[in-house]
């Protein structure tokens, strides 16, 4: 592609090239970011950097490239909706532990775009899960987070928050807590 008069690699080709260099989970996290829909008002761009069909097309064009098997595996794990790499890692930890695939950007009221949303969760079990990264430390973000947390709690959801400490431990505590929530009524 051309950007400002300079030829550069497309996002899809860069993702494919990374397949030979980085672990599967990281490749999935990069892919999730490429295909996620930008958030209006929070970002300048209005389209994803790439699409899953574009990534799959790139895979099909380069069947002998180093890392191609990993790229094919990663493509099956990509989901639009993760707003950060830790959210992807949390989703992958839950599914690797045998838990069902969580819904991403789960709203209390599914059809209401103004309804508070958790990063991921399970609607039928009323389990909401949030990953709080560093930007959640600002006073303004904490106020928004508190309102969201209170809304889920008031609606009777089991609500879990995880952070960088949980990430550094491979989300083991998250898996245990969510598994227990599935077992309790």
Q: What is the dihedral of CA 150, 152, 156, 158, to 10 degrees?
A: -110
Q: What percent of the chain has pLDDT over 70?
A: 96
- Over the stretch 76-112, which tens digit does the pLDDT of each residue have? 999 999 989 999 999 999 999 999 999 999 998 888 7
CATH number for the region 81-185 comes to 3.40.960.10
pLDDT along the chain (185 residues), means of 10: 83 96 98 91 85 97 96 97 94 97 92 85 95 70 80 92 94 96 85
| Tokens encoding 123 | 């609607």
- What pLDDT score does 185 carry? 67
Domain boundaries, the chain: 1-80, 81-185
- What pLDDT score does 118 carry? 92
């Amino acid at each position: 592609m051309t950007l400002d008069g300079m030829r550069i690699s497309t996002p899809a080709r860069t993702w494919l090239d990374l397949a030979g260099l980085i672990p599967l989970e990281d490749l999935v996290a990069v892919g999730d970011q490429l295909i996620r829909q930008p958030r209006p008002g929070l970002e300048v761009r209005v389209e994803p950097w790439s699409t899953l069909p574009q990534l799959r097309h790139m895979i099909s064009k380069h069947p002998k490239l180093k890392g191609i098997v990993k790229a094919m595996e990663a493509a099956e794990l990509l989901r639009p909706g993760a707003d950060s790499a830790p959210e992807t890692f949390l989703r992958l930890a839950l599914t690797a532990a045998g838990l069902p695939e969580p819904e991403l950007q789960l709203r209390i009221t599914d059809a209401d775009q103004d309804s508070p949303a958790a990063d991921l969760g399970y609607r039928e079990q009323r389990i909401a899960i949030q990953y709080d990264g560093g930007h959640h430390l600002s006073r303004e973000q904490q106020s928004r987070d508190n309102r969201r947390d209170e809304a889920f709690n008031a609606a009777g959801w089991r609500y879990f928050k995880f952070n960088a400490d949980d990430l550094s431990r491979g989300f083991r505590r998250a898996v245990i807590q969510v598994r227990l929530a599935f077992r309790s009524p």
